[in-house]
Chains A and B, each alone.
Chain A
Amino acid sequence: SQTIHQWPATLVQPVGSPLSLECTVEGTSNPNLYWYRQAAGRGLQLLFYSVGIGQISSEVPQNLSASRPQDRQFILSSKKLLLSDSGFYLCAWSVRQGMGYGYTFGSGTRLTVV
């Protein structure tokens, strides 16, 4: 069966520090991968998605970046965190062939920038 792992679960980082969040999927090949951010009262904001290794689409311009070095690995990064980067970050995957199955989400990372 397919599983998605996301870590760490919680993170407290000072302003200006770097960030690296990792997401991996097991039990499937060629998934679409997604990073969302959830802020209180603002729903889920799509940050990045990827349909293949090295292929990243950015939905919102900001100081975050994403990379997909392997088929089932998706990394969210920042060189210098801002206070406004605080939030709940969710990784998700879907099958490549359309959205009929929806997404499967990871358990999320709670990031607090202080």
Chain B
Amino acid sequence: AQSVTQLDSQVPVFEEAPVELRCNYSSSVSVYLFWYVQYPNQGLQLLLKYLSGSTLVESINGFEAEFNKSQTSFHLRKPSVHISDTAEYFCAVSEIGYSTLTFGKGTMLLVSP
């Protein structure tokens, strides 16, 4: 069975500082990996995804994530955060061939001036 662990429930950071949100997954087969972002009282929006090919994937707003098969990780990074990046971030995994996503418990990114 697939599972996702986001070790940090909250990550405080100053504006323009770099940030890394950690995600580890558990699965015995090949997987798809996703990062979603949720702003207050809104649904989740897809930020980026890894399906196959290049292990480094990027979003349009400067986030990137790297798939590391040996460490079963898919950490999310941004070199310089903005106040507007304050939101909750969810990592999700789907085993290829399955019809559902399994989500981590989320990491709240708090960016302060």
Contacts and interface: CB of A to CB of B under 8 A. Distances in A.
Nearest to B46: A102
A108 B41 contact: yes
A107 B43 contact: yes
Interface in A1-55: 6, 32, 34, 36, 41-44, 46, 49, 51
Interface string A62-88: 000000000000000000000000001
A36 to B, nearest CB: 8
B90 A43 contact: yes
Nearest to B42: A107
Given A41-B9, A43-B106, A102 B43 contact: no
A98 B52 CA distance: 14
Contacts of B97: 98
Given A99-B32, A105-B44, A106-B43, A49 B104 contact: no
B90 A49 contact: no
Nearest to B49: A102
B96 interface: yes
B45 interface: yes
Contacts of B49: 102
Contact of B103 (A44, A100, A110): A44
A105 B43 contact: yes
A49 B99 contact: yes
A102 B96 CA distance: 11
Interface of B: 9, 32, 34, 36, 41-46, 49, 51, 90, 92, 94, 96-106
Interface of A: 6, 32, 34, 36, 41-44, 46, 49, 51, 88, 90, 92, 94, 98-100, 102-108, 110
